[in-house]
A and B are shown apart, each in its own frame.
Chain A
Amino acid sequence: MRVLLVEDNRLLGDGLQAGLTQAGYAVDWLRDGEAAVAALSTESFAAVVLDLGLPKRDGLSVLQWMRGRHDATPVLILTARDQLDDKVRGLDLGADDYVLKPFDLDEVAARLRALVRRAHGRHEPLLTLGEIELNPAARTVVRNGELVELTPREFDLLHLLLENAGRVVTRRTLEEQLYTWQDAVDSNALEVHIHHLRKKLDNNLIRTVRGVGYMASAAP
C-alpha cells in the first residue's frame, strides 16, 4: 500500500517514513506543497498523509487543489493547531481524517487503514474472498482457518487485489502502489510475486488478463 507523506519537519518525516514502512506501507516522503502537487498530478497513491504547515504551498491549499481535480485519494491531515476552525476547514476542504500532533504511530497506521478501507466502500476491517480472509491491521492471511505465510510484498499485492476484487488492476497501478521511488523494480518482479501467491493460495483466485493486468475473483 503506497502512501504519500508530505511533512517538512525532517525528524518527523524520517520517523513517519520509518514507522509506516514498519507497518507495511510503501512510503514516499516529500517536504513541500509544490513537490506534493507535482507528485500527485502524475502518480496515484492509496492515501496521502498531509501536514498543514508546509513551505511553498500550504497543506490546505494542496488539499483544495486535489479535490478541485476530483482526486478522491483519502487524505489524513497532521496538524499541531488544535483550534476548532482549523479542523473544520480541513474537513470542509475534503480531508478524510486528521490526527493532532504529537500522535501515536499506531494511531496513524490504524486511521490510514480505515481510510483506505472506506475509500473502497468497505465497512468491515477484514477482506474476504472465497476461502481467503485478509486482516490488514494484523497483516495476516487465513485460508480455511489456517494461517498462510506471506512475505510483506506478497501480502501487499494480495491486499491490493482483494481491495479491488472483481475488477482488473493494471500492472502499472500495481507497480505504482507497491513500490516507492527508492525501490528498484525488476521488470518481472510482479510476475514472480503473483506466481508465489498462486502457489501459496488457491490457484484459481488470481486471474491474468493478458496485456492489461490481474484480477482477483472467487472461483466460478
Chain B
Amino acid sequence: MKRPASYSLRRRLVWLLTATVAAIWLVAAAVVYRQAHHEADQLLDAQLMQVADTLLAIVSGGEVEHFVEELQEHADRARVPIAFEIWYGEHGPMERLVTSPGHGGFQTGATLGFSERVHQASLWRFYAVEDHDKEYRVIVGQAHAAREKLARSIGLSLLLPAGLALILMALAVWAVVGRSLRPVEALAREVGGLDAQALAPLGESAVLPNEIAPVRAALNALIHRVNQVFENERRFAADAAHELRTPLAALKVQAQVALRAQTDEGRQHALSKVIAGVDRMTHLVEQLLTLARVDPANFGATPEPIDPAPAIAAVCADLQSQVERRQQTLSVDAASECRIAIASDWLQIALRNLIDNASRYAGEGAHIEVKLVRDGTNCVISVADDGPGVAPELRAQIQDRFVRGEVDSEGCGLGLSIVARIAALSGARLALGDGLPRGGGGRGFAATLRFRNAADSPSGSQ
C-alpha cells in the first residue's frame, strides 16, 4: 500500500481558498464580459445606424459633390473606426460614389439593415440604409474585433485589480493560518520535548483553541495510561527480582547448610528442602512463562467459538490426583449448552489456575465445585471452594502479580493475574466472591468467568 504523501495544512488552505476565490472571480468576469459584449453591440449598432442615417441625410440633401470632397480630405487626415460607402443610382444599377479610405469597397449585396460578413479577412458588421427614392444607399461597417476589444477591456478592468487582490488575499491567508496554527506548533514542540523515560502530562495552563484542546486532553489521558502501564511494568520487574532471588537465596542457603551439616538427619532435612525449593522455583518459572505467553501479541484474531465442556473435563481430570493428595473433592457440573470464543489452550490455562488456586488455598479436605451455566446471553464458568475464603477488601489486590492470598501458601501469586489477563483478552469478566458454605459458618472463595455466549451473538457461528 502506498503511503499517502504528507501535506501542509497551511499551504493547502492557502491554495484552496485562493483557487476558490479565483474561480469565483473568473466566473464573475466571464459574466461581466458577456454583459459588456452585449452592451457594446447595442452601443456600436446604434452608432452605426446614426452614422449611416446622418450620411444618408447629408447626401440626399444634394450637397453631395462638396461633401464628398470634404469627407475625402477628412478621411485622409484621420482614420475613422467606422468605414462607409455611398452608392448612387438614379435610374439604373447603382454605382459606388465614395468609399472611406483604407477600405477597398464592401462586397455588399442589396440587403438593408444589419448584416455580418467577412471583409478583409475578418468579420465585420454592416448597416445599409437607402433614402425613400432609392437613389442613395449608405453602407457603414465596423470590424467585429472592435466590440470584442471593448468588451474585453471592460472584463479586464474587473480582473486586473481582482488578480492583485487575490495575491494579497493569499498572503493574508498564509499569515492568518500560520498565526492560528501556532498553538499546534507549540503543542507539537511540547510533545516532542517529552522524555520517554519520565512522561509528564502536558501543561494545562496554556490556553488552547477549542479545536486543539481535545488533542491535548487526549494526549494527557494517553500519557496517564502509558505511565500506569510503565509503572506496572517497573513494579513487576522489581517484584519479579524479589520473587526470583528469594527462592534462589533459599536454595543456596539450604545447599550450604547441607554441606556443613554435622548429622545425617540435618543433611537429609536440608537436601529435602533443596528439592522442595527447586519444585517451587519450577512452578514459579512456569507461571512466569505462562504470564509472558498470555499476551495480546499472541492472541491474534478472534478464535472460533468452542464448547467449553471438554476443556473443563480435561483440566479437572489432570488435577484430580493433586486434589486427592490433599484429601479434597472436586465436582464438575458442565452439562449446559454453551459456546464461547476463546482458544481452548487459553481456557485450559485459566481453568487450571483457578482450580489449582482453590486446591492450594482451600486447605486439606476442602470441596471444590466447577460449574458451567448459561445465564441469558452469557456463559458462566465458576470455581468455588469451601476454604477460608478471601476478605472482600483483599479481593481486588489478589489479582495483582505476586500477591498471595495468605502468608502460608505454596503459591507464587501469579495464578489470578494470568486468569485476569486471559479474561481481559477474551472479553470475559472475572469476578471474585463468596464460595460454598463452610461447615463452621461463613463461605469459601469463588472465582467466576463470565463469557458472552458466542451462539447468541450475530457474528458467532453455530
A positions within 8 Å CB-CB of B: 8-12, 14-16, 18-19, 22, 31-32, 53, 55-56, 78, 80-83, 100-106
Contacts and interface: CB of A to CB of B under 8 A. Distances in A.
Nearest to A105: B256
A80 B273 contact: no
A102 B280 contact: no
Contacts of B266: 18
Given A11-B276, A102-B248, 4 more contacts: A14-B273, A19-B257, A102-B252, A106-B256
Contact of B253 (A16, A55, A56, A81): A16
B9 interface: no
Interface in B254-283: 254, 256-257, 260-262, 266, 269-270, 273, 276-277, 280
Contact of B246 (A14, A18, A83, A101): A101
Contacts of A32: 407
Give 3 closest A-B pairs by Cβ, nearest first: A15-B253, A12-B250, A11-B250
Contact of A53 (B242, B257, B408): B242
B250 A15 contact: yes
Interface of B: 238, 241-254, 256-257, 260-262, 266, 269-270, 273, 276-277, 280, 407-408
A81 B402 CA distance: 14
B275 to A, nearest CB: 10
Contacts of B254: 11, 14-15, 18
Given A32-B407, A81-B238, A12 B246 contact: yes
10 contacts: A8-B407, A11-B277, A12-B250, A14-B254, A18-B254, A18-B266, A22-B257, A101-B248, A102-B251, A105-B252
Contacts of A104: 252, 256
Nearest to A78: B249
Contacts of B408: 10
Nearest to A99: B249
Contacts of A106: 256
A123 to B, nearest CB: 29
A81 B242 CA distance: 6
Contacts of B251: 11, 102
A161 B245 CA distance: 38
Contacts of A19: 253, 256-257, 260
A100 B249 CA distance: 9
Contacts of A82: 241
Given A81-B241, A81-B242, A101-B248, A15 B270 contact: yes
Contacts of B253: 12, 15-16, 19, 102-103, 105
B238 A18 contact: no
Contacts of A80: 241-246, 249
B243, B248, B252, B280: most-surrounded residue (chain A CB, <10 A): B252
A11 B407 contact: no
B357 to A, nearest CB: 18
B128 to A, nearest CB: 110
A80 B252 CA distance: 14
Given A11-B277, A18-B266, A105 B245 contact: no
B245, B248, B269, B273: most-surrounded residue (chain A CB, <10 A): B245
Contacts of B244: 80
Nearest to A31: B407
B342 to A, nearest CB: 35
Contacts of B257: 15, 18-19, 22, 105
A11 B276 CA distance: 8
B249 A102 contact: yes
Nearest to A79: B242
A11 B245 CA distance: 12
A11 B242 contact: no
Nearest to B252: A102
Contacts of B407: 8, 31-32, 55-56
Contacts of B260: 19, 22
A189 to B, nearest CB: 22
B304 to A, nearest CB: 43
Contacts of A31: 407
Nearest to B234: A83
Nearest to B409: A10
A9 B244 CA distance: 12
Contact of B273 (A15, A22, A55, A103): A15
Contacts of B280: 11
A86 B245 CA distance: 16
B23 to A, nearest CB: 67
